[in-house]
Structure 1
Amino acid sequence: MSKEQSKTLFYTQTKDEVLKELETSKEGLSTAEAKQRLTAYGRNELDEGEKRGLLAKFIDQFKDLMIIILLVAAALSVITEGMEGLTDALIILAVVVLNAAFGVYQEGQAEAAIEALKNMSSPIARVRRDGHVIEVDSKDLVPGDIVMLEAGDVVPADMRLLEAASLKIEEAALTGESVPVEKDLTVDVAADAGIGDRVNMAYQNSNVTYGRGVGVITNTGMYTEVGKIADMLANADETDTPLKQNLNQLSKVLTYLVVAIALVTFIVGVFVRGEEPLKGLMVAVALAVAAIPEGLPAIVTIVLSMGTTTLAKRNSIVRKLPAVETLGSTEIIASDKTGTLTMNQMTVEKVYTNGQLQSSASDITADNNTLRIMNFANDTKVDPNGKLIGDPTETALVQFGFDHSFDVRDALQTEPRVAELPFDSDRKLMSTIHKQADGRYFVAVKGAPDQLLKRVTKIEENGNIRSITEADKQTILAINKDLAKQALRVLMMAYKYVSEVPTLETEIVEADLIFSGLVGMIDPERPEAADAVKVAKEAGIRPIMITGDHQDTAEAIAKRLGIIEDDGEDHVFTGAELNELSDEEFQKVFKQYSVYARVSPEHKVRIVKAWQNEGKVVAMTGDGVNDAPSLKTADIGIGMGITGTEVSKGASDMVLADDNFATIIVAVEEGRKVFSNIQKSIQYLLSANMAEVFTIFFATLFGWDVLEPVHLLWINLVTDTLPAIALGVEPAEPGVMTHKPRGRKSSFFDGGVMGVIIYQGIFQTLLVLGVYGWALLYPEHTETHMMHEDALTMAFATLGLIQLIHAFNVKSVYQSIFTVGAFKNKTFNWSIPVAFILLMLTIVVPGFNTLFHVSHLSVTQWGAVIIGSLLMLVLVEVVKAVQRALGQDEKAI
């Protein structure tokens, strides 16, 4: 844009001041002026932003440290080992490329947020130009244009209202407020008012639900409130997931380990044993390749993919793979209220009629006047499919009628509406007049209790009508106040019978009325949400509500859900209060509050970042456009599949297909299981690779040729990969949802896993070297080359078989295999036999044993291999028993 749009707070100005500021009038701009401004300001659309090409996305996938290590190892393998090393390198390269391709695919699925915002724009707007009302493409609107609004319209740009006749605009996507806002031009709006309180403004992409209005465009394109959200989305920092941080940490550990091992091996080989430098370098590279779990990136991807499949079956659609694991480390669930914790559907909850306060489920008969009035003084339409169309408050009243056997369509056939006084935001009442079978007319009036009670002179109780007393009025006001404290929206119903249609003036129609009852409505909490909040707290997760709705409503819903206690203390922090604090000041007090009300999109981002600054892993749920920036900023953004906008879904890492808050807790449990299983896979792979490294390292010191590169490659491909994948789908261990969240600072080595990897790697090394040494001490052949070939074969068979047996040990860090169940995992049950068969093929099938440089073994030699391998299970079970006796299993939780 070549011209900066105004940053004036138009909602604080008078209509004349606004028109003067924008250099326009109520007659609108001229066509020529509109064209000049369009050139100056640009079109009323959102910037697309810079789109990255497929190649750039693909290259980004190779910036991971683990991937770089693998590529370097592959290159060194080719340089030092020629064609033999080429096989290793090609396999490593294939794994890396597949992993990168999958990452590009996932990223391609996640770039819809800005596009969805663009597609929300209203295509046509009715504008006053040159003194005439014409229709123009909303993209051609400019500041200063005068726009007409009526029910059913989508607001095409931000505007200051100049006229408002019973105008109501639904702004839930921007503010999170479930009830349409009644626009009022007489209210003085404070400079620090949130979007929901700027009652003289209309904002782009909000929906007009009632009445009509006229407004002057104040901002267009990226300068609208929606544009600001789009800008926040485009510039939001992508937070590294705990999984990515853990894998980066693991990569660093492996880097140091690989460099140290390779260096020590090279020094020992060349300077101690006097080997040629090139041979020493080849041995060092072989050890480095053995130390790196080539299949780890692929295994992590596979485990996460399996987790996404499981979650999809349970109504959680994962859009970004790491989100599965991130859920398991979540410490804070910051949830929007409307549509997430609540139904996003106004519902009648309490009815006061005939002197009794009743729940909505009570038996209220179809002839009850309160029931009749709420349906008659109502503009809701019912489409052929039975869907209710209209203001959410009014549709809730008609739905209540349906639930109590009162069909307004049938009632209007016998008592047709013959006249009306539409709702007016000044008098806050609506009246309709219905002809009765006896020739009289029934006047039905609904509206705000404080206004309607002034016009009541009588009261009805169980069919009896009498004059209303001051005590009656005090009782009604007390009931109204009590319902309001519960954050219920209260409407009063009154009526009268007249002999003829009166003059349609409020002083005549809405006078001398009979009080019938009060109706209390609310957007109710989801039935399962309270239980979900309870489970979250038991799991050490703190639920927080962040909403654009009113403070009282937010507090009432939070208490009903158990997010805050009903102890009389102030638990709610408002957007206005947040505006008064710097980030540093807010950081000192934010932990005191679990409910934030009347907040804007920027506030939501500040709240999420405040918790992240404390080192917490934050999950943010939401369904509106206003939630999108915070969804993207959070460690895991969770969108709503049914009520959510495409914008919120596009910014999310995961989408709830059923909009069920309880599904988040299911997903958290799955996430914890996924982390535990990835941890098991890493424990298995690293202890196995450590055994390979230590075996070659110590064998080199002893002058033994224990394993060849082809043996290491086959073991890494077969006996490492298949069991590691199978461990990735282990059932959750008992009590997974009673532990505290791991949090951001946790790693795959927490809970004593690093020590377990070391001792289990040493055990495997000792057993392999022990079997190799036994083969040399008790050879089956006298020829030296046969003796070494048998010993080499036994070491290879032992290392492979010992790892398959060791997979059973890894099912639990501390619990016995006989406790956790050895065969509960079907995938594991077939992966071990398949890996065993593939291992045996290289030894017992003619041709394969030549390719792998191994010999046929005798029964005695096989006995030594099997005993040596089974000892791994026995030794680990003994260590686990000692650890449990010392209480190390409890300390690790």
Structure 2
Amino acid sequence: MSSKDFVAYTKSNQEIISELDTDIKSGLSQTEVKKRLEQYGENTLKEEETRSLLQKFVDQFKDFMIIVLLVASVISAFVGYMEGEGPTDSIIILIVVLLNAVLGVFQEAKAEDAINALRDMSSPEANVLRDGEYMKIKSTELVPGDVVSLEAGDIVPADIRLVETNSLKVEEAALTGESVPVEKHAEAVIEKEAGIGDRSNMAFSSTNITYGRALGIVTHTGMDTEVGHIAAMLSSTEKQLTPLQKDQEKLGKTLTYLIIAIAIITFIVGVFLKGFSPIQMLLVSISLAVAAIPEGLPAISTIILSLGTRTMAARNALVRTLPAVETLGSTMVICSDKTGTLTLNQMTVEKVYYDGKLHYAQDPLDNNGKFICSFAFPNDSKVDAQGNVNGDPTETALIQYALDHGMDLKGQLRQFPRVEEIPFDSGRKLMSTIHETDDGRYLVFVKGAPDQLIKRSSSIQKAQEVTAMTAADREEIIEVNAKLGRQALRVLAGAYKIIDEIPAEVTTETLEKDLVFTGLVGMIDPERTEAKASIEKARMAGIRTVMITGDHAMTAQAIAERLTILDPNDSENERHVMTGAQLDEITDDQLAKEVGNYSVYARVSPEHKVRIIRAWQANDAVVSMTGDGVNDAPSLKQADIGVGMGITGTEVSKGASDMVLADDNFQTIVVAVEEGRKVFANIQKAVQFLLSANLGEVITLFTATLFGWVILEPIHILWINLVTDVFPAIALGMEKAESDVMSHRPRTKKDSFLSFGVAPSILYQGILEALITLFVYWYAAEGPMQTSLIGEERHVLAETMAFITLGLIQLFHSYNVKSVFASLFSRNPFDNKWLNLAFLVSGAMLLGVVLIPGISQFFDVHALTAGQWGIVVAAALSIVVVVEIVKFIMRLSGFADKYNQ
């Protein structure tokens, strides 16, 4: 028999014992254990193959843009050698490439291995019955058929079919996402289609026993467990390329083809039409190619992303991979886990019913000692010295409610000590305790399921008076219970009675009857107060929030309505809620077509979460997934950006995530999305600046070649690229977010760096830069500019003026790209101190080659008169004036609105 194919929860206890060939009284023999260890292997998870540091480093050079830069480095070295200028530019490009590789490896090295984290969750020991004796063994030595004893505080060491249970509760949140510990029943036989959260006769590996005791038989170990299944899914899930990575690859390829074409055309025109020497035109063509390549873009993108990670970290969003910063900005759908992210993961009393009236939990609680005691006394939670309440989440909520209303619980329990009890039992769904009073009599307090307590109550307390419970009272209690249930509240009832002596035999029959009904308590894991506002803000930004949870459909729907994920005024919200069972009935293609109709998924398994994400991705949506449990790991890895929880999250979920929320708060995701949008906008500004500048250079050189001019030397082009590209582009990455950044729709997968009006802006701005530079050269070389220089000297002067003009144009233009369509003067144009500094530093380096003796000779430039400086500065500054006019026309004509969605 294959352990993997064995569906244990569908079988009775006797079938389990028979099929696993074990003995519930004596367990397996050591001889049999040895055989089964050879058959099934150790109870461990397989490790994922890890890449060496060298492999990670080499992988960084597989990006197309990086390959282009390496080629550019070789070309630059050749130009430097031919011109006798040395390999400076080549070295700079290599430094940029190496910096990117080192940063990439560093980011990978910081990431935890999710599979190893899964292995670390394994229980170190198990209490197992072998050869008729219980013994502690390493959990790795467990085999199918082993009989294991479980009790409160244990971590379940393998997947176990329960054969005996005593008030057993298991906390499965990490595996199912359900916020409340699950009651287990050994006698249950479950249908095959049931989800993990509904398999009440099973205890799963790596979950926690919170209450009671049990005996069970190991059915699955290692990779055959539910946790092992998740580990297999996790290792087989391929991480998607981020939009940023796709954009850079696409942009790199497009630019490369264009640059090669332009360089070839320039060479042909120069040699065959204008009669320049092949060597001269080869150098010009290569210089043009190097000028056109935005070699600083990868490094600038990395720097801008790194700055984004620092900003996000300060706002509780810890980014583990750099591209994730920008991916957040393109998020269209946030698939969010409910428990701990949208809710507090803390059961809280919300409404109470007593004295025949429904009250909010925060309302004053006067003269209702019996009511509050009926929930606080039959309760096993403990209050520590710091005032923290520890225990079962439901019971701690009741104690916290009592404490919040001023109850001196410890003092009360000293006055009325517990002398006897009937523990909670999942069959009768009640817990009772007996407390001695000062007059020698006894108080009995009972809490439990309302339907059970109503049947056992003969009286009711209202306004401190005890009267016989009437049919109308019962109907009212049942109605209130149903009303609270429809609001997804977990409802418990309380009752009490006074007895003269403790029965000889304390049983449910002798004690839990003729009770005085005190009231109802409705509890829920409440939504975070800021989550609702954040969901609405995300909606305004065009981002859809989808809730995925292991809870029941009614609970999920109620929370979704409270958070406005579902319209709270829609009476037919059930049609927007899908359960895991319903998911199993449709194909992936059907789900992809219908996924937009559902905003809530309940009772889902890890496979369901991955299917939901893939369905959205099939519709070209960029999907963010949040989660904290082991069950979330595959979907976190499948999503375009996985978001783990820093406080409640398992190491597994953190390891599979691209970003971790230090405060487990949905609001932080929306903050991170806003930062991601700013990061993309700033990278886009850098792209616009670099490409418009490079296009200006390309058009200048190509047009000059057509006219037979030698307008710029290779060293001039390389120097402009060095001093006017990098610093302003990095400074643009530090721009503040534009005020309307969260009022735009998310960018789609079809959008790129050149979308939203950037492409036409690059085109007209590059043409403007070239026209201004060409005009200055013509004016100085052949136009009416007054100068006594003639021949070669006038040509050198014209080259110098064209060189400085082109460089200054790019520096002034860096202010233009602060916004694609908005006027530079719509806000303080000098509000970016880093851009101001970059302008001054780059300007000093550019002008220094003309003004500093010795250096000017190296660059073969001519000194300028005051009048010539005036022409150069005025021409360069004109780029701001002309772009402002064009932007105004674009806004006035509605052209800007076409892109500014």
**TM-score bracket for this pair, using the shorter chain length:** over 0.9
CA distance in 1, matches of 2:649, 2:589: 33
Q: Which of 675, 684, 687 lines up with 1:682 in the alignment?
A: 687
Corresponding residue for residue 816 of structure 1: 823
Corresponding residue for residue 839 of structure 1: 846
Output the amino acid matched with 1:766: L
CA distance in 1, matches of 2:8, 2:247: 49
Output the amino acid matched with 2:423: P
CA distance in 2, matches of 1:101, 1:205: 37
Number of aligned residues: 891
Q: Give the 3-state SS of the residue equivalent to 2:877 in structure 1.
A: helix
Note if contact 1:174-1:626 (Cα within 8 Å) is conserved in structure 2. Answer: yes
2:605 maps to 1:606: no
CA distance in 2, matches of 1:620, 1:706: 54
Q: Which of 548, 553, 560 lines up with 1:546 in the alignment?
A: 548
2:887 maps to 1:889: no
Note if contact 1:444-1:496 (Cα within 8 Å) is conserved in structure 2. Answer: yes
Q: Give the 3-state SS of the residue equivalent to 1:516 in structure 2.
A: strand
Shift of the alpha carbon at 1:851?
Answer: 2.4
Corresponding residue for residue 652 of structure 1: 657
Q: Which of 15, 21, 24 lines up with 2:22 in the alignment?
A: 24
Q: Which of 529, 534, 537 lines up with 1:535 in the alignment?
A: 537
Q: Which of 2, 5, 8 lines up with 1:7 in the alignment?
A: 5
Note if contact 1:431-1:446 (Cα within 8 Å) is conserved in structure 2. Answer: yes
Output the amino acid matched with 2:91: L
Corresponding residue for residue 475 of structure 1: 476
Note if contact 1:113-1:648 (Cα within 8 Å) is conserved in structure 2. Answer: yes
2:702 maps to 1:704: no
Shift of the alpha carbon at 1:85?
Answer: 6.2
Output the amino acid matched with 1:538: M
Note if contact 1:443-1:497 (Cα within 8 Å) is conserved in structure 2. Answer: yes
Shift of the alpha carbon at 1:276?
Answer: 4.3
Shift of the alpha carbon at 1:312?
Answer: 1.2
CA distance in 1, matches of 2:234, 2:623: 17
Give the direction of change, closer, same or farther, for the CA distance of 1:744–1:85 in structure 2 (3 Å limit): farther
Note if contact 1:366-1:372 (Cα within 8 Å) is conserved in structure 2. Answer: no
Note if contact 2:274-2:705 (Cα within 8 Å) is conserved in structure 1. Answer: no
Corresponding residue for residue 691 of structure 1: 696
What's the TM-score once normalised by structure 2's chain length? 0.97
Query: Structure 1 residues 249-258 or 210-219, which shifts more?
Result: 249-258
Q: Give the 3-state SS of the residue equivalent to 1:494 in structure 2.
A: strand
Note if contact 2:353-2:359 (Cα within 8 Å) is conserved in structure 1. Answer: yes
Shift of the alpha carbon at 1:5?
Answer: 3.0
2:631 maps to 1:633: no
Deviations 1:426-481 (A, max 9, x none): 11110001111122111010011111111101111111111111111111111111
Shift of the alpha carbon at 1:568?
Answer: 2.3
CA distance in 1, matches of 2:689, 2:374: 71
Q: Give the 3-state SS of the residue equivalent to 2:119 in structure 1.
A: helix
2:230 maps to 1:257: no
Corresponding residue for residue 103 of structure 2: 102
Shift of the alpha carbon at 1:855?
Answer: 2.4
Q: Give the 3-state SS of the residue equivalent to 1:6 in structure 2.
A: helix
Shift of the alpha carbon at 1:422?
Answer: 0.4
Corresponding residue for residue 588 of structure 1: 593
CA distance in 2, matches of 1:597, 1:708: 67
Corresponding residue for residue 347 of structure 1: 348
Corresponding residue for residue 198 of structure 1: 199
Residue pairs, 1:480-519, within 5 angstroms = 480-502=481-503, 503-519=505-521
CA distance in 1, matches of 2:31, 2:337: 45
Residue pairs, 1:385-464, within 5 angstroms = 385-464=386-465
Corresponding residue for residue 61 of structure 1: 60
Note if contact 2:283-2:714 (Cα within 8 Å) is conserved in structure 1. Answer: no
Residue pairs, 1:196-235, within 5 angstroms = 196-235=197-236
Shift of the alpha carbon at 1:194?
Answer: 0.3
Shift of the alpha carbon at 1:306?
Answer: 1.0
Output the amino acid matched with 1:72: V
CA distance in 2, matches of 1:31, 1:377: 44
Q: Give the 3-state SS of the residue equivalent to 1:751 in structure 2.
A: coil
Shift of the alpha carbon at 1:78?
Answer: 2.8
Note if contact 2:79-2:287 (Cα within 8 Å) is conserved in structure 1. Answer: no
Deviations 1:35-81 (A, max 9, x none): 22222222111111111011111111111111111111222333455
Shift of the alpha carbon at 1:590?
Answer: 2.0
Output the amino acid matched with 1:249: K
2:44 maps to 1:41: no
Output the amino acid matched with 1:795: A
Shift of the alpha carbon at 1:17?
Answer: 1.1
Q: Give the 3-state SS of the residue equivalent to 2:519 in structure 1.
A: strand
Note if contact 2:489-2:523 (Cα within 8 Å) is conserved in structure 1. Answer: yes
CA distance in 1, matches of 2:679, 2:279: 43
Shift of the alpha carbon at 1:814?
Answer: 1.1
Note if contact 1:77-1:85 (Cα within 8 Å) is conserved in structure 2. Answer: no
Query: Structure 1 residues 704-713 or 623-632, which shifts more?
Result: 704-713
Q: Give the 3-state SS of the residue equivalent to 2:3 in structure 1.
A: coil
2:813 maps to 1:806: yes
CA distance in 2, matches of 1:471, 1:529: 40
Residue pairs, 1:239-388, within 5 angstroms = 239-365=240-366, 367-388=368-389
Output the amino acid matched with 2:540: E
Note if contact 1:31-1:130 (Cα within 8 Å) is conserved in structure 2. Answer: yes
Corresponding residue for residue 854 of structure 1: 861
CA distance in 2, matches of 1:814, 1:57: 41
What's the TM-score once normalised by structure 1's chain length? 0.98
Q: Which of 495, 519, 522 lines up with 1:520 in the alignment?
A: 522
CA distance in 1, matches of 2:665, 2:93: 42
Note if contact 2:367-2:464 (Cα within 8 Å) is conserved in structure 1. Answer: no
2:739 maps to 1:731: no
Query: Structure 1 residues 244-253 or 346-355, which shifts more?
Result: 244-253
Q: Give the 3-state SS of the residue equivalent to 2:341 in structure 1.
A: helix
Q: Which of 870, 878, 882 lines up with 1:871 in the alignment?
A: 878
Shift of the alpha carbon at 1:385?
Answer: 3.0
CA distance in 2, matches of 1:890, 1:688: 25
Deviations 1:73-114 (A, max 9, x none): 222333455264622221111100101110111112224311
Note if contact 1:375-1:401 (Cα within 8 Å) is conserved in structure 2. Answer: yes
Shift of the alpha carbon at 1:608?
Answer: 0.4
Q: Which of 749, 771, 776 lines up with 2:781 in the alignment?
A: 776
Query: Structure 1 residues 405-414 or 302-311, which shifts more?
Result: 405-414
CA distance in 2, matches of 1:675, 1:162: 57
- Percent of residue pairs identical: 57
Corresponding residue for residue 113 of structure 1: 114
Q: Give the 3-state SS of the residue equivalent to 1:748 in structure 2.
A: coil
Shift of the alpha carbon at 1:279?
Answer: 3.7
Shift of the alpha carbon at 1:767?
Answer: 0.9
Query: Structure 1 residues 229-238 or 79-88, which shifts more?
Result: 79-88
Query: Structure 1 residues 79-88 or 800-809, which shifts more?
Result: 79-88
Q: Could you list the runs of 4 or more consecutive aligned residues of structure 1 that deviate by over 4 angstroms after TM superposition?
A: none
Note if contact 1:811-1:820 (Cα within 8 Å) is conserved in structure 2. Answer: no
Query: Structure 1 residues 487-496 or 586-595, which shifts more?
Result: 586-595
Q: Give the 3-state SS of the residue equivalent to 1:165 in structure 2.
A: strand
Note if contact 2:297-2:687 (Cα within 8 Å) is conserved in structure 1. Answer: yes
CA distance in 2, matches of 1:831, 1:355: 73
Output the amino acid matched with 1:323: A
2:557 maps to 1:555: yes
Deviations 1:521-578 (A, max 9, x none): 1111111111111111111111100111111110110011101124222221000111
CA distance in 2, matches of 1:706, 1:19: 91
CA distance in 1, matches of 2:886, 2:818: 15
Shift of the alpha carbon at 1:33?
Answer: 1.5
Shift of the alpha carbon at 1:326?
Answer: 1.1
Note if contact 1:417-1:435 (Cα within 8 Å) is conserved in structure 2. Answer: yes
Deviations 1:703-752 (A, max 9, x none): 22222222222221221111111111211222221111112211111122
CA distance in 1, matches of 2:466, 2:680: 69
